[in-house]
């Protein structure tokens, strides 16, 4: 890994650039919290200190939020940040930042699996580092923002599983976790889970 960074420093430099863009003024840009950010932050705070959400549900697996429901994974993964920094815009958004940085890494790694060239890796990191949608996703505390990064991790595990079958366990676990991240997972995961099954059937036949 160290030797790779010496031989080709551009992906690391682009990652640092992307990280700076995502980190700077995280607690103040966007200004304040929108209603969904405030909702999931306060529910996480209530779970951390009282073991219930703001509606009195003990350790909920799905939040009531404003009445339309909200996936609970973001709230639970936010607990360490709220415990460390209190209930602030920065602590509520910190998880989105971490997942955004992980998303950059796993997008790069996945593209290197598909296009194992020096130019392919540089282009992949450049694309994700300056992507406006991904930058905004990394700075906004919405539960749905967990899902793209989880899918990227799952895709990386899937690509690795074609070389080393044990990686399929990681793929399956991440797919299961993503069901608690966003409702779209119930639709998308069934199709992603069919991909390794399809290829293994071809290999066996």
Segment 50-100, tens digit of pLDDT? 999 999 999 999 999 888 889 999 999 999 999 999 999 999 999 999 999
DSSP secondary structure string for all residues of 94-132? HHHHHHHHHHHHHHHHHHHHHS-SHHHHHHHHHHHHS-H
pLDDT band of 205, cuts 50, 70, 90: low
Residue 2 has a pLDDT of 47
- Quick check: helix, strand or coil at residue 144? helix
Percent of the chain with pLDDT over 90: 72
pLDDT tops 60 at residue 4: no
Residue of 137, 138, 167 lying closest to 155 (CA atoms)? 167
CB 32 within 8 A of CB 74: no
Window from 67-76, 97-106, 180-189, 194-203 with minimum mean pLDDT: 194-203
64: buried, middle or exposed (CB in 10 Å: 19+, 13-18, 0-12)? Answer: middle
Tokens of 189: 């995961």
pLDDT tops 70 at residue 25: yes
Report pLDDT digits (tens) over 114-161: 998 888 889 999 999 999 999 999 999 999 999 999 999 999 999 998
Residue 118 has a pLDDT of 84
- Whole-number average pLDDT of the chain: 91
The domain segmentation of the chain, as residue ranges, is 2-32+94-204
pTM score of the predicted model: 0.90
Give the CA angle between residues 85, 87, 89 to the nearest 5°.
90
């Amino acid at each position: 890994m160290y030797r790779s960074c010496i031989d080709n420093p551009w992906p690391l430099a682009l990652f640092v650039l992307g990280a700076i863009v995502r980190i700077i003024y995280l607690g103040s840009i966007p200004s304040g919290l929108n209603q969904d950010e405030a909702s999931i932050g306060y529910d996480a705070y209530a779970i951390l200190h009282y073991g219930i959400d703001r509606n009195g549900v003990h350790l909920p697996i799905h939040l009531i939020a404003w009445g339309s429901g909200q996936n609970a994974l973001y709230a639970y993964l936010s607990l360490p940040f709220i415990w460390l920094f209190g209930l602030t815009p920065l602590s509520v958004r910190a998880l989105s930042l971490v997942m955004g940085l992980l998303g950059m890494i796993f997008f790069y790694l996945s593209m290197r699996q598909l296009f194992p060239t020096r130019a392919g890796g540089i282009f992949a990191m450049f694309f994700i580092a300056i992507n406006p949608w991904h930058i905004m996703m990394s700075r906004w505390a919405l539960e749905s923002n967990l899902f793209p990064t989880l899918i990227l991790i799952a895709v990386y595990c899937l690509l690795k599983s074609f070389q080393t079958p044990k990686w399929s366990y990681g793929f399956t676990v991440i797919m299961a976790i993503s069901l608690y991240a966003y409702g779209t997972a119930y639709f998308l995961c069934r199709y992603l889970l069919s991909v390794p099954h399809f290829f293994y059937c071809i290999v066996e036949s």
